[in-house]
């Protein structure tokens, strides 16, 4: 009889995290969604979202979290409470439909120069509407920075560098977030992000990013691509 002693080094076991943008990726982006009191009546999921979340949710080893910039809080469209309420409602609807989202991170702060001043100079923002407690010189939680990802991973006692990271989104900043975390990213087309597609295609042409970015037609295709990348 032979005894085999197998030692597993915990440092070599990598957790799998899939981060998902909210507005424009899961649900249709109506422009600062949540500013109207009838927001629940206007909630509409993009095609393939529920099926994709069912597919990903069937893998217990995968953790799924929403990661969303919610600039509308900083410029007076809605409150932190409303942003959280909407996100939790989306999670509830997903769960009732047989999908799974394990948690969420929202970024409410905006950078002074890169957001507030720039938009004011462009005539796209009235400074009288700004809630200045949400304005910072640096916003490490805001995409494309990886602060929201770090919060999730480190809360589990893990590190970004010792985790498998994927990001699904509809904007270039979503794709950059996944790349900045050392992971892979999937751009989901939603019928109104052709400009973002062009920006992401330029990223894809960089030799160092070869194989780390994918563009797909819908969320279900994103889920399938990730599972193929993980297990095939």
pLDDT at 8 over 50: no
Which residues, other chains included, contact 179 with Cβ-Cβ below 8 Å and sequence gap of 6+?
185, 203, 209, 212, 213
Structure tokens at 68: 């969303």
CA angle (133, 139, 140) in 5-degree steps: 140
Rg of the chain over all Cα atoms, to the nearest angstrom: 19
> Which domains are delineated in the chain?
15-108+140-231 (3.40.50.1000)
Q: Residue 151 belongs to what H/E stretch?
A: helix 147-155
Q: Measure the CA–CA gap between 17 and 35, rounded to whole angstroms.
A: 30
pLDDT digits (tens, 9 = 90+) for 147-201: 999 999 999 999 999 999 999 999 999 999 999 999 999 999 999 999 999 999 9
Residues 6+ apart with CB under 8 A from 118: none
Mind listing the pLDDT tens digit for each residue in 36-75? 999 999 999 999 999 999 999 999 999 999 999 999 999 9
- Give the pLDDT of residue 38: 94
* Cα–Cα distance measured from residue 40 to residue 54, given in angstroms and rounded to the nearest whole number: 22
User: Residue 26: left if φ>0, alpha if ψ -120 to 50, beta else—which one?
Assistant: alpha
The rounded distance, in Å, linking the Cα atoms of 222 and 224 is: 5
Contact predicate 16/62, CB 8 Å: yes
Query: For residue range 86-122, what is the model confidence (pLDDT) as tens digits?
Result: 999 999 999 999 999 999 999 999 999 999 999 999 9
Q: How many CB atoms lie within 10 A of CB 174?
A: 28
Q: How far apart are CA 139 and CA 70, in angstroms?
A: 12
Hey, what are 182's tokens?
């050392």
Assign 154 to helix, strand or coil.
helix
Which residue, 85, 75, 74, is CA-closest to 34? 85
172-180 vs 194-204: helix crossing angle, rounded to 10: 30
Predicted local confidence at residue 13, as pLDDT: 59
Please answer whether residues 64 and 101 qualify as being in contact, where contact means their C-beta atoms are separated by less than 8 angstroms.
Answer: yes
From the list 216, 73, 178, the residue with the least C-alpha distance to 131 is 73
Q: CB-hemisphere CA count at 13 Å for 106? A: 19
């Amino acid at each position: 009889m032979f005894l085999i002693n197998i030692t597993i080094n915990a440092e070599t076991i990598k957790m799998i995290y899939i981060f998902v943008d909210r507005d424009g990726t899961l649900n249709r982006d109506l422009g600062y969604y949540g500013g109207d009191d009838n927001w629940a009546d206007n909630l509409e999921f993009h095609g393939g979202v529920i099926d994709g979340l069912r597919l990903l949710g069937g893998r217990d080893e995968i953790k799924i979290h929403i990661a969303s910039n919610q600039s509308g809080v900083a410029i007076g469209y809605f409150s932190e409470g409303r942003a959280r309420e909407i996100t939790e409602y989306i999670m509830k609807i997903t769960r009732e439909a047989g999908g799974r989202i394990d948690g969420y991170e929202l970024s409410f702060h905006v950078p002074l120069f890169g957001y507030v001043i720039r938009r004011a100079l462009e005539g796209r923002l009235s400074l009288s509407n700004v809630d200045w407690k949400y304005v910072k010189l640096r916003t490490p939680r805001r995409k494309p920075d990886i602060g929201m990802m770090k919060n999730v991973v480190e809360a589990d006692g893990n590190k970004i560098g010792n985790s498998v990271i994927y990001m699904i989104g509809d904007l270039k900043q979503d794709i950059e977030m996944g790349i900045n975390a050392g992971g892979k990213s999937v751009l989901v087309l939603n019928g109104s992000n052709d400009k973002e597609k062009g920006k992401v295609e330029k990223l894809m042409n960089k030799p160092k990013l070869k194989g780390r970015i994918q563009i797909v037609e819908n969320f279900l295709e994103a889920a399938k691509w990730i599972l193929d990348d993980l297990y095939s």
